[in-house]
Structures are given as C-alpha cells and as structure tokens.
C-alpha cells in the first residue's frame, strides 16, 4: 500500500429514538420542505408514518411523500421524482429504506444537483462536479447494504435492461440516522441475508488489493459486531441493542468497502442477481466461503488476522498460526449453516449448468473482479459456482 484515498464525510447519528433528530439535522442545512422517499412495504408497516411524525413534531412540512420505489432502483422513477421535487418546491431529500430506496434517492439528488435531465449523461466514475448542494438524510431500514455511507449508486434502466453503476464522492449522503426502531420489524431471513452481506463487505474490504489502514479499522470493528449481534438480532427481533449494533456494523462495513472495494464474491453475486434473480444477500452468503477458499493462498495472512475478530480470543490463541485462515473459513461456513437452520437462508445455489456459464461470462466483466486478491478467469468462476451448488 503506497498510496490511498479515504473519505467518510457522512455525519452519523446513532441511537435509540435518533429519528427524533431528523428535524434538527435538516435545520442545520436550513431545509424546510423535504421530499420523503420510501417504498410500499415500509409504508404499509408504519415505518414511513414514524418518520413523517418525527418531521411534523419538529415543525417540518413535508414537500411530498413518495412510497412507490420498486425492488430495483429504476431510471424512470428517478426522473419522475426529480419532477416531483421541483413541482413541490422541495429543498432536501429524506430517504427511508433499504438499498433500492437509498440508491433511488441518490439518483434523484444527482439529477437535481447536476441540473441535468438525463441520467445517462452522468454515467461513469468520478465525472460528477460538486453542483448544487441538496441536503440529503438517509435512514436505513436494513442492516446490510451500507449504502447510507457509500459513494456508489446502482440504477436500472428497464428499457435497455442494464444496471448502471455511478461512483462519486458527491453521492455520499450528508447524514445517516441509525435507529433500532427502523430494523426491529425486519423478518429473520432478511436479517440473516442482509447481515451476511455486511459481513462479506467487511471481509472483502479487508482482503482486496485496495485495502488501507483506514478501511481495515472499520472492517474489523464491523466483523466483531456481526459476530456478537447477528444471531441475537435473529433470535429476538425486538432486541434493540443487537439491532443497533448490527446497524452500526453494516454502516462501518459500508465505509470500509466504499474506500477499498469488494471483490470476487460481489462480482459473481452481481451476476447471480442479474441473471438468476437471486437476492443479493442470499447469493453473497452462499458464495462467501467458496470464494474465501479460492482466495486462500493469496489471503492467508489477512484471513488469519481476521480470526481474532470473528472468533474468540481462545480460538485464536489455540489455533496454530498456519491453520488460522482455514479456521476463519470454517467459522464463516458454520455461521451460514446455523442461519440456514434458524431462518431458511439458502446455503446452496440452485442453478443449471447453462446458468453457471452465463453467470461466469458476466462475472468476468464485473468491476469488482479487478481488486480481488487473486486473478480469477472464466474457468475459476465456473468451478466456484459448481462447488456452491
């Protein structure tokens, strides 16, 4: 590591009832009419109402509430929201949701701040200019994507059937609010799936070739929090302490990979999502131990160090140095099998030979493959997918 860049400019407000701070946070930007963005499920279960109430209690008038964000962040919805923002004289954005809602909100903010009509003009890495500042507050309702602190937005163009990836420091939200009330209603399987995505972000960030001392420190803290809290949050969804710890873990893993990168698990996982429509966290969880085995000869030292943070102190001390990396993989696999039994989280891929070929062909062109510690080719990916089946 001879050179690195690191940025986490998002302010973090974390704690029980921290959603009560949203009006004050908007006040710091002199914002008075936010566009509130969320999805239909969160509207139905009352999460959106909790945020609306917090805003109204703080004398903030909501410019418009939109709760129809689809499963995948979509270009047309972003264009529509951009119009709604302008027509309703909004002056800020509050996003409440998982990765898709947050990425949609990032897209809307990008269009308004760059003052363009077509999002296609903004494709590519680091091409955005500072633009007009649109105050942007994010309240995540899953503990997994870390999108509340990442510089990435993935947006789908349904007409062209492509997923566009935007990467820019100007995509970083201004404020992330972590409130355990936002995740207590998350079902067990979704808690497991998103939690394993966060674990993978931290492990891949700690072992990819762009790792740096800052991203490492966030990754190891995230890993320990997941070790101590994921099962607790699954066993008792109302355990607010475990929920809050998982929200913090997900955020820290997000900061980590936003400043290093992910790797081969995500390269293959993105393709499994696009081709076989396997939920992101499920695909990542299934692949993680197999890719770790593949990477083992290049990552032995890093994986061995991570055993200290994912296992117990005794386990680390009692495992011979040359066996620690393998022990880490064994522990990750045990966790996946445990989650499979407790929540039904899949631990094997159900895909055909034909699908394996398609997924491997797409994965070799995914950006995440570039920073993987071991260079993987088509045959390597086919082999990993076959083992994971």
Chain positions contacting Fe ion, by CB under 5 A: 197
CB 16 to Fe ion: min, Å: 27
Question: Which lies closer to Fe ion via its Cβ, residue 26 or residue 384?
Answer: 384
Backbone angles phi, psi at 217, to 5 degrees: -65, -40
Biggest alpha carbon–alpha carbon distance for the chain:
65
Q: How far is the CB of 215 from Fe ion (least distance, A)?
A: 15
Nearest to 206 by CA among 192, 233, 191, 224: 224
CB proximity list for 144: less than 8 A, separation 6 or greater: 98, 99, 193, 194, 195, 196, 197, 198, 250, 281
Comparing CB distances to Fe ion, the nearer of 174 and 197 is 197
> What is the CB neighbour count within 10 angstroms for residue 61?
9
Q: Pick between residue 82 and residue 274 the one whose CB is nearest to Fe ion.
A: 274
Residue 257 beta carbon to Fe ion: minimum distance, rounded to whole angstroms? 8
**CB 320, min distance to Fe ion, A:** 32
Specify the residue for token string 């989650």.
339
CB 144 within 8 A of CB 281: yes
Shortest Cβ distance from residue 55 to Fe ion (Å)? 30
Q: Which is nearer to Fe ion, 51 or 154 (CB)?
A: 154
Nearest to 293, CA basis, from 338, 328, 244, 344:
328
CB of 194 to Fe ion, least distance (A): 9
Of the two residues 99 and 373, which places its CB atom closer to Fe ion in the complex?
99
Four-point Cα dihedral 168, 169, 175, 180, nearest 10: 60
| Parallel, antiparallel or unpaired: strands 64-66 and 175-178 | unpaired
- Nearest Cα neighbor of 65 from 100, 29, 107, 96 is 96
Nearer to Fe ion among residue 74 and residue 197 (C-beta): 197
Q: Kindly state the smallest distance separating residue 221's Cβ from Fe ion, in Å.
A: 18
Q: Measured at CB, which residue is nearest to Fe ion?
A: 197
Q: Tell me the C-alpha distance between 178 and 181, whole Å.
A: 9
Between 154 and 306, CB nearer to Fe ion: 154
């Amino acid at each position: 590591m001879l050179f690195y860049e690191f940025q986490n400019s998002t302010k973090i407000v974390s704690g029980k009832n921290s959603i009560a701070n949203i009006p004050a946070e908007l006040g710091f930007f002199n914002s008075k009419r936010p566009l509130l963005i969320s999805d239909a499920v969160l509207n139905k279960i009352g999460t959106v109402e909790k945020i609306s109430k917090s805003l109204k209690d703080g004398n903030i008038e909501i410019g418009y509430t939109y709760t129809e964000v689809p499963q995948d962040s979509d270009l047309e919805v972003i264009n529509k929201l951009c119009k709604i923002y302008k027509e309703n004289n909004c002056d800020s954005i509050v996003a409440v949701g998982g990765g898709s809602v947050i990425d949609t909100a990032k897209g809307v903010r990008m269009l308004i701040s760059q003052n363009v009509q077509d999002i296609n003009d903004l494709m590519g890495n680091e091409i955005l200019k500072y633009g007009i500042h649109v105050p942007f507050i994010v309240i995540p309702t899953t503990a997994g994507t870390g999108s509340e602190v990442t510089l990435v937005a993935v947006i789908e163009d349904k007409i062209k059937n492509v997923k566009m990836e935007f990467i820019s420091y100007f995509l970083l939200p201004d404020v992330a609010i972590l409130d355990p009330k936002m995740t207590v209603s998350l079902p067990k399987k979704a808690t497991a799936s998103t939690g394993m995505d966060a674990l993978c972000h931290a492990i891949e960030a700690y072992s990819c070739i762009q790792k740096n001392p800052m991203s490492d420190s966030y990754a190891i803290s995230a890993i320990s929090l997941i070790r101590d809290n994921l099962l607790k949050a699954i066993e008792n969804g109302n355990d607010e302490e475990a929920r809050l710890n998982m929200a913090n873990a997900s955020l820290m893993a997000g900061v980590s990979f936003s400043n290093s990168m992910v790797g081969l698990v995500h390269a293959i996982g993105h393709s499994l999502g696009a081709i076989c429509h396997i939920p992101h966290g499920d695909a990542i969880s299934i692949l993680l131990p197999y890719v770790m085995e593949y990477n083992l000869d290049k990552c032995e030292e890093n994986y061995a160090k991570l055993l200290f943070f994912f296992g117990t102190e005794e386990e680390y001390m009692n495992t011979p140095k040359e066996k620690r990396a393998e022990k880490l993989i064994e522990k990750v696999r045990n966790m996946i099998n445990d989650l499979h039994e407790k929540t039904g989280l899949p631990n094997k891929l159900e895909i055909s030979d034909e699908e394996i070929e398609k997924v491997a062909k797409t994965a070799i062109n995914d950006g995440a493959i570039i920073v993987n510690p071991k260079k993987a080719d088509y045959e390597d990916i086919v082999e990993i997918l076959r083992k994971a089946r």
